[in-house]
Amino acid sequence: MAEQAPSPASPPPARLVVPRPRVLVVTGVAGSGKTTVARAVAERLGWPYAEADDLHPRANIVKMAAGVPLTDSDRWPWLVTIAHWIRDRVRAGEPGVVTCSALRRRYRDILRAGAAAGAAQRPGAEDPLLFVYLRGSPELIGRRMAARRSHFMPTSLLDSQFAALEEPGPDEHALTVDVDRPPDALARAVTDALAAGDQ
Ligand SMILES: Nc1ncnc2c1ncn2[C@@H]1O[C@H](COP(=O)(O)OP(=O)(O)OP(=O)(O)O)[C@@H](O)[C@H]1O
Ligand SMILES: [Mg+2]
């Protein structure tokens, strides 16, 4: 990336520039900070942002509000909707940030398939998909969930979230971020890694 010489006449760019467009999927259990961190990252980069919570079919929201864990068949249409969002970004050669708990590898496989479908229509394109995994202990995340208000995910679902969690493996393209720091520090860790080109 070319560095511009600082000049008093030209203020620094308002937004970070990273080496290539990426599509980030910010993952982790409920209450790990996906929405908070994804928004901060999207803001720092000036990239479009999508909230997976908003892409759930209504029936899923009703179930979660009642404290009933979703089944995989509840999740498929939701994951496919997110995969299509990713595909469309990749196909257009545009960056983006989307939240999705993506707790299991097979859920991430669906999202990867979305990126692959988009990349297939852009010959020579590098794989742009990067999972950002927000890692935290059940105790820390439980405390944050208990303090959060006006949200459809009750704390009682947290145990099932940790039971389902399959952390990204070494063969998955993922950046793991420990969430025991303030949101701004986490967002900076993500954008620094992107700007350094090491992710
Ligand atoms: N790094 C952090 N430090 C302190 N508090 C945080 C941090 N990240 C998020 N929070 C707080 O923790 C709570 C959960 O965060 P958030 O809603 O972003 O999680 P989420 O992963 O999007 O949850 P869900 O899966 O239910 O949508 C919020 O009250 C948020 O303000
Ligand atoms: Mg959220």
The pLDDT of residue 1 is above 50? no
Q: Which of these, 87, 189, 78, 169, lies nearest to 128 by C-alpha position?
A: 87
Segment of 8-17, 72-81, 155-164 carrying the highest mean pLDDT: 72-81
In this predicted model, what pLDDT tens digit does every residue of 134-157 receive, in sequence order?
A: 999 999 998 888 887 655 456 667
Note the pTM of the prediction, 2 decimals: 0.88
Which protein residues have a CB closer than 5 Å to ligand 2 (ion)?
34-35
96-99/23-27 β-pairing: parallel
CA of 193 to the centre of ligand 1 (A): 21
Percent of the chain predicted with pLDDT > 90: 66
Domain 23-195 fold is: Rossmann fold (3.40.50)
Confidence of residue 56 (pLDDT cuts 50, 70, 90): very high
3-state class (DSSP) for residue 12 = coil
Closest C-alpha to ligand 1, atom 10: 33
pLDDT of residue 66: 86
**Residue 27 bridge partners (DSSP):** 133
Domain locations along the chain = 23-195
What pLDDT is recorded for position 125? 74
| pLDDT score recorded for residue 85 | 96
Pocket of ligand 1 from Cβ distances under 6 Å: 28, 30-36, 53, 101, 144, 147-148, 151, 153, 179, 182-183, 186
- Tens digit of each residue's pLDDT (9 = 90 or more) over 80-110: 999 999 999 999 999 999 999 999 999 999 9
